[in-house]
Structure 1
Amino acid sequence: MAAIDVTRRNKRPRALLDKEQDKLREFADHIHYSARYSDSEYEYRHVQLPKNMLKSIPPDYFDTSKGTLKLLWEEEWRSLGITQSLGWEHYEVHEPEPHILLFK
């Protein structure tokens, strides 16, 4: 698998403002986490955000050329309310369904 395309991220993590985080808190209990699956190299899982949540995420978290979220730094995805153990990296967004984030 190719390395993560860092050009699809913010140059550095962009922390959410308190008022932005307040808007997102209501969605945290509705985030769905897949079971883990793996290949010979990595363990994976996907995280499904509530579709309405995308409207509350700040615009600079989005890749306007693709119409999806950018690849998020750990600080960014955690601030959205995604909770996972340490070591997961957001490596792709499922473009047909931009509310699904892929982690390895």
Structure 2
Amino acid sequence: MSRSHAARSQRPRLLTETERERLDEFIPEINYSARYSDSKNEYRHVMLPKAMLDYIPSDYKDSTGLLKILMEDEWRGLGITQSLGWEHYEIHAPEPHILLFKRPKNYGQK
């Protein structure tokens, strides 16, 4: 299920302090896949604890309850930590707690 940043506003919707505090207990349980790549991009997926989805604000979700494509400030606000250059580009719909990320291959190398 591919989703577009065009469906999002131009400015990120940051979490309030209270919203962030509700998510803090889940941060140690976030899992990161190894990186994998094709000829163009590097990829990884991030697995949020399933219970964490219940505490993510509803305006981060679409009408079906799946997470929207998140801007960098938004996914970092959820507690996801990655190096620079990663773009959230898709949700794995059968498992909505899995967020898919990509960045150009050899990002940051000159």
Q: Answer yes or no: same fold by TM over 0.5.
A: yes
Aligned CA RMSD, in angstroms, stands at 1.5
Describe how 1:1-104 pairs up with structure 2 within 5 A: 5-64=4-63, 66-104=64-102
Give the % identical residues.
63
Between the aligned partners of 1:28 and 1:14, the Cα distance in structure 2 is 19
Gaps of 5+ in 2: 103-110
Q: Which has the larger radius of gyration?
A: 2
Q: Provide, for residues 4-48 of structure 1, a one-character-per-residue CA deviation record: whole Å limited to 9, x for no partner.
A: 722333442001000000000000000000000000000000000
Q: Provide, for residues 47-77 of structure 1, a one-character-per-residue CA deviation record: whole Å limited to 9, x for no partner.
A: 000000000000000011x431000000000
Cα gap change, 1:10/1:69 in structure 2, threshold over 3 Å: closer, same or farther?
farther
Partner SS, residue 44 of structure 2 = strand
Between the aligned partners of 1:8 and 1:95, the Cα distance in structure 2 is 17
CA contact (8 A) 1:90 1:101 kept: yes
**TM-score w.r.t. length of structure 1:** 0.91
Runs of 4+ in 1 over 4 A off after TM superposition: none
**TM-score w.r.t. length of structure 2:** 0.87
CA contact (8 A) 1:69 1:93 kept: yes
Q: How many residues were matched structurally?
A: 101
CA contact (8 A) 1:10 1:70 kept: no
